[in-house]
Amino acid sequence: MEEINSLEMFQALATLLSTKPASADAVFFHARGFGDDDGLFELAAQLIKDGAARFVAINGFDGEGMGSEKVSLGKDEYLRRLEECGLERSSITLTEPARNTRDENTAFLGLARERGWQSAIIIAQPHQLFRIILGALNEMKRRQMSFILRWAYPSNVDWQKLIRASQGEVRNCRFDDIRAEFERIPRYIAKGDLVTLGELIEYLRKP
């Protein structure tokens, strides 16, 4: 399993969480577990209204449930909520359906290549950005794709909120999900699903 270098982790997190997004061609809005999307719809809409991007790309899947309980909302609910935030339907684009973050990165970057986009702003909760960006860079590397990634996250996060994780696992509160994210990263690097922290640092240090 990939060893996590504490200095590289701190360097990456400090850089990610202190960088404001410049303009880009689109916003990549990764699907979230039930109850874990607060602030993200408003953030996506605000980025469009401020002229930071022209389009919001969302996962084209239908959502999923566990038994009778919904654990992940689908495209119809995402469209409805983005429109409630004031976005026109023409500014919202669907990707191919994707069931996990790795497949979403594949779908988002495939759409970007198809549309001729050169840059995008990834939005997510702060603790999830790290793994998402590592995965996006891995997909860019696989495609040998030159692409500019930017990122944004809600400014006020309720860490005590009861949520479900993206695979439907129950957390006592959102704060618990930080540990789960931290534990996934070395496993997914070892599997080849994410770039290494060193590769992320190299990307972040580019002018």
Q: What is the pLDDT of residue 19?
A: 87
Q: Quote the pLDDT of residue 104.
A: 97
Q: Could you give the strand order of the β-sheet that contains 55-58, starting from the edge strand earlier in sequence?
A: 92-94, 55-58, 26-29, 119-123, 148-152
> What is the predicted pLDDT for the residue at 170?
66
pLDDT band, residue 20 (cuts 50/70/90): confident
Residue 23 near residue 132 (C-beta atoms within 8 A): no
Q: How confident is the model at residue 166 (pLDDT cuts 50, 70, 90)?
A: low
Q: Supply the DSSP symbol for 89.
A: G
Mean pLDDT of 164-174: 67
Q: Which residues have a Cβ under 8 Å from the Cβ of 160 and sit 6 or more positions away?
A: 173, 174, 175
- Express each pLDDT in 39-86 by its tens digit: 999 999 999 999 999 999 999 999 775 444 555 789 999 999 999 999
Whole-number average pLDDT of the chain: 91
Report the interhelical angle of 40-49 vs 75-84 (nearest 10°).
60
- Residue where the block lists tokens 């919001």: 56
* Rounded average pLDDT over 88-116: 97
- Give the pLDDT of residue 34: 75
The stretch 126-148 carries a mean pLDDT of: 96
Cα–Cα distances in angstroms (integers) from residue 171 to residues 35, 100, 111, 177, in the given order = 11, 18, 33, 7
Contact 160, 173 (CB under 8 A): yes
